[in-house]
Structure 1
Amino acid sequence: MDVSQQYRQSWEGFWAATSDAPGEAIWDAEASLSAEPHCRLLLPYADTSLPVVDLGCGSGTQTRYLSTVFARALGFDLSQAAVEHARRADTAGVAEFEQLNLVDADAVGALHRRIGDTNVYMRAVIHQSEPTARPAVAAAVAELVGEKGRAFVVELTPASKDVLQAAAEAPDGPPKKLRRVFDHGLKPAGATDEEVPELLRAAGLTILADGDTVLPQTEKMPDGSRIDLPARWFVLATAAS
Structure 2
Amino acid sequence: MTAERTFATICRLADDLEARGFAKLPPERQLAERLNTSRSSVRRALERLEGEGRIRRVRGRSGGAFLRMVESTPDATMEDDAADGATRLVERPLETVVGLPQMLRAQGFESGTRVISASFEHPSDVERAYFDITAGDLVAAVLRLRFADGDTLSLESFRVPAARFPGLLESRLSGSMYELLEEKYGVRPTHAHEHIHVTTASPRTAASLGIDVGAPLLKVVRFAEDQNGRPFERSIDLFRADRTVLSVTAHQVGWDPSHM
The TM-score with structure 2 as length reference comes to 0.26
More helix per residue: 1 or 2? 1
If asked which structure has higher relative contact order (CA below 8 Å, sep 6+), I would say 1
TM-score normalised by the chain length of structure 1: 0.28
